[in-house]
């Protein structure tokens, strides 16, 4: 891991800046799930938010041969500066019942609406469900690009958006009196994150990730990788939100790595440890300790457990999203043979 690179002034209360470099080699006999969602504004900052998702499951045979097991894609359009309404949605695999989501808010309650429309998406670790599940938070996270872009233009005062999108005490970063809420209370604007340069994730292995295009300025990307090793009963997880500044430099907004040890026969978590790599504010890294609370929790139903019990300032909304995805470990194990 090299020293992080910075260009331009850092916010004086920025959090940890130790992003990972590259991607671990694929382990023979393991499963790898990679998921990305790009947050784009092709019509400009005030235009609609376009979410483009890609996901792939890959098995590495014991001789190292990669075998692709499945893919999913998603394209969605969201009215970010209005009511966060979903304007368009297309997916592969296609589910006509998802058309019922058009016009709905992608905020609170959206995930429940997805499952009400297509209950099967919540079963067997569906790749497409992970992409749909990320829509509410990628919409929220995309506010980084909106705010930073407007600040660069010299005209950012969207107090309505800032106050709507941020919930006081919903996690460590939004603690009452912390960096974000203090600035919103003082001037009505959330502070703009100044993260480190994003080290590349790809290397010599063309199968390390599914294909991901270069990002334009003002774009963002959520990247997820989960490697499940059946022999060691371990999952190695990577999570990153990145942002491309107006000058074309990609920076890290959120990044965690997580190591989960599990009992496959019992279907429970033995231990879980999260390591913050890059986080926006000084208050954020303390939330990593919350991951240890998963010890002894069944993997089945883990999404609901995290959603219902990981709340408040001892947690992090982005770490919670990472932990919730661990519910798919049993389904990936079933793909091992």
Residue-wise pLDDT for 232-251, tens only, equals 999 999 999 999 998 899 99
Q: Which residue has the tokens 């003082």?
A: 186
Contact 208, 58 (CB under 8 A): no
Q: What is the pLDDT of residue 163?
A: 41
Q: What is the pLDDT of residue 155?
A: 59
| 203 assigned to some structural domain | yes
pLDDT single digits (tens) 275-326: 999 999 999 999 999 999 999 999 988 999 999 999 999 999 999 999 999 9
Q: What is the pLDDT of residue 103?
A: 97
Beta strands in the chain (DSSP E): 31-40, 49-60, 66-79, 85-92, 220-229, 234-244, 250-263, 268-278
| 18 assigned to some structural domain | no
Contact 218, 145 (CB under 8 A): yes
| 296 assigned to some structural domain | yes
| 11 assigned to some structural domain | no
| 99 assigned to some structural domain | yes
Q: Can you tell me the distance from the alpha carbon of 312 to that of 271, in angstroms, rounded to the nearest whole number?
A: 22
Residues 6+ apart with CB under 8 A from 322: 224, 237, 239, 256, 258, 274
Given strand 234-244, what is the order of strands in its sheet?
85-92, 66-79, 49-60, 31-40, 220-229, 234-244, 250-263, 268-278
Residues lower than pLDDT 70 in the chain: 1-8, 154-166, 337
| 142 assigned to some structural domain | yes
| 19 assigned to some structural domain | no
Q: What is the pLDDT of residue 215?
A: 96
| 265 assigned to some structural domain | yes
Q: How many domains does the chain have?
A: 1
Q: What is the pLDDT of residue 164?
A: 44
Q: Can you tell me the distance from the alpha carbon of 87 to that of 101, in angstroms, rounded to the nearest whole number?
A: 9
Q: How many residues does the chain have?
A: 337
Classify burial at 134, counting beta carbons within 10 Å of its beta carbon; exposed 0-12, middle 13-18, buried 19 or more.
buried
Residues 6+ apart with CB under 8 A from 289: 314
Give the pair of three-digit tokens for residue 167: 């919930």
CA angle 45, 13, 134 (to 5 degrees): 45
Q: What is the pLDDT of residue 166?
A: 54
Domain range for 92: 31-334
Q: What is the pLDDT of residue 170?
A: 84
What single string gives the DSSP state of each residue in 159-199? HHHHHHH--TTSSGGG-TTSHHHHHHHHHSSPPPP-PPB--
Q: What is the pLDDT of residue 8?
A: 61
């Amino acid at each position: 891991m090299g020293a992080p690179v910075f260009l331009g002034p850092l916010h004086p209360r920025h959090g940890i800046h130790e992003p990972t470099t590259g991607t671990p080699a694929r382990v023979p006999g393991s499963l790898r799930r990679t998921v990305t969602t790009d947050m784009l504004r092709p019509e400009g900052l005030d235009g609609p938010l376009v979410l483009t998702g890609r996901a792939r499951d890959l098995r590495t045979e014991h001789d190292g041969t990669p075998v692709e097991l499945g893919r999913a894609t998603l394209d969605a359009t969201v009215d970010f500066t209005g009511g966060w309404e979903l304007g368009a949605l297309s997916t592969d695999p296609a589910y006509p019942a998802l058309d019922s989501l058009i016009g709905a808010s992608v905020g609170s309650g959206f995930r429940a609406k997805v499952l009400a429309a297509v209950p099967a998406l919540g079963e067997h670790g569906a790749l497409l469900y992970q992409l749909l599940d990320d829509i509410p938070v990628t919409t929220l996270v995309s506010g980084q690009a909106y705010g930073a872009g407007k600040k660069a233009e010299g005209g950012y005062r969207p107090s309505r958006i800032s106050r709507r999108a941020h919930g006081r005490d919903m996690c460590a970063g939004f603690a009452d009196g912390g960096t974000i809420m203090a600035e919103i209370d003082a001037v009505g604007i959330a502070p703009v994150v100044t993260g480190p340069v994003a080290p590349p994730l790809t290397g010599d292995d063309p199968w390390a990730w599914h294909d991901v295009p270069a990002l334009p300025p003002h774009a963002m990307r959520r990247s997820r990788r989960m490697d499940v090793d059946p022999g060691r009963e371990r999952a190695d997880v990577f999570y990153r939100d990145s942002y491309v500044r107006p000058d074309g430099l990609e920076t890290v907004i959120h990044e965690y790595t997580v190591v989960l040890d599990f009992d496959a026969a019992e279907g429970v978590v033995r231990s879980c440890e999260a390591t913050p790599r890059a986080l926006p504010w000084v208050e954020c890294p303390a939330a990593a300790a919350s991951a240890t609370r998963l010890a002894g929790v069944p993997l089945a139903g883990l999404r609901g457990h995290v959603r219902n019990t990981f709340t408040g300032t001892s947690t992090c909304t982005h770490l919670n999203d990472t932990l919730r995805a661990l519910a798919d470990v049993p389904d990936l194990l079933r793909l091992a043979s």
